[in-house]
Structure 1
Amino acid sequence: MRTVPETGPETTIEAVPDLPVVRLVREFAAPPEQVYRAHVDPELVKQWMGPRSVDMDIDVWDLRTGGEYRYTALRDGKAIAHFYGSVHRVWENRKIVQTFGFEEMPEAVSLDTLELEDLGDGRTRLVATSVVDSIEARDAMLASGMETGVVEGYAALDELLERLA
C-alpha cells in the first residue's frame, strides 16, 4: 500500500497482494450526490479528471447502466491517449461498475468499480477497485504514471466540489 502525500486529503493507492487488483481510496469534503455528479456529468468530468497538464476531448460520456464512454487525452492540443469503456451497472449516488480500456494498449482492459460511501457531515469516501488480467498487468498499471493523474485529478475534484457547494 502506498499513501500519496499531497496538500489535501491522502490518496491511498494499493496493489492487493497476490491478486491482479489495484484499489484507490480517497475522502472528499462533499456529499455522495455531488461526488457522483462530478463523475457522470461530462462538463464536470472535463474539469478534474487526469493530470493537470492534460485536457480531455469527450466523444461519448453516457454513464448509465448500459452506457459507454470514449475520450481523448490532450497535451498542448495534441492527442496523447484514447480511452473507452462500457458501463455495466450504475446505482445512483452509490456505485458505478464499468470497463476501462486504453486504445494504445488494447490488452490492458480492466473492470472498475467505483463506490461512494456517505461518511455523514457532508463527507464521502470514494473506493475505486480495478481488476486486470494478471499481476504483471497490475504492476504495469501502477508503473504507468497513473499516480500523478489520480492525485492531481482528485485535487482538482476537491476544487470543483468546493465551487459547486
Structure 2
Amino acid sequence: MTVELETRGDREIVLRRDFRAPRHLVYAAWTVPDLLKRWYGADGWQLVECAVDLRVGGAWRFVSVGPGGARMVQSGVYTHLAPPSRLECTEIFDEQSYPGETLVAHHFTEAAGVTTATTTLRFATPFGRDTVLGYPMRRGLGEGYRRLDALLLERTP
C-alpha cells in the first residue's frame, strides 16, 4: 500500500494510508511508546526516546537517531483525543528549517477490517509547507508504515 499525498490551500498537506488492522490497534501504534519505537521513522532511523503524556495538554517528545549519528528531535502538545478515531497535536522540530508550530490531526476510520489513517498537517506558513514538500516525506513515511504493517500483523488476531 502506498502513501497518498495531497495539498490543500497553501498551508496543508494531507496523507492517507490503509492498514489491514482494526483501528484501535492502529491508534495504539500511534500512541504507545513501546509500539512507536518499533515502527516510527524512515529506514536507517531509530526512535530512541519516546515520551507520550496522552491527555489533552499533555506533551510528547520523540528523539530519533539516523545515519552517521544524526539526531532529530520533535515534540508537541496533545490538543484533542477521541480514541480510537482521532488524535490531534502540535509539532515542532528542534532544528526546524521553517517557522512556527504545525497542527497535526490524525483521523482513523475502519471498514471491513481495514483502517484508513488520514493525517492533515497544517503549517504556520506557506513557506513551512513548501519546505516540507521538498523533503522525501512520502518515501520515509512509506518505510515506517511498512514496519507498522508488520507490527499490526503480529497484533491482529
TM-score (normalised: structure 1):
0.87
TM-score (normalised: structure 2):
0.92
Q: Which of the two has greater helix per residue? A: 2
Aligned match of 1:150: 141
Aligned match of 1:118: 110
Report the Cα offset of residue 44 of structure 1. Answer: 0.3
Among 89, 95, 101, which residue is 2:92 paired with? Answer: 101
Amino acid at match of 1:137: G
Tell me how large the CA RMSD over aligned residues is.
1.6
Aligned match of 1:5: none
Note if contact 1:40-1:62 (Cα within 8 Å) is conserved in structure 2: no
Structure 1, gaps ≥5 residues long: 1-8
Among 3, 10, 28, which residue is 1:11 paired with? Answer: 3
Note if contact 1:56-1:73 (Cα within 8 Å) is conserved in structure 2: yes
Q: 1:59 & 1:123 partners in 2: Cα distance? A: 27
Amino acid at match of 1:114: H
Note if contact 2:21-2:114 (Cα within 8 Å) is conserved in structure 1: yes
Aligned match of 2:64: 73
| Matched positions, count | 155
**Secondary structure of 1:46's aligned partner:** helix
Q: 1:36 & 1:162 partners in 2: Cα distance? A: 14
Report the Cα offset of residue 110 of structure 1. Answer: 0.4
Structure 2, gaps ≥5 residues long: none
Alignment of 1:64 with 2:55, yes or no, is: yes
Note if contact 1:49-1:149 (Cα within 8 Å) is conserved in structure 2: no
Distance change in 2, residues 1:13/1:157 (3 Å): same
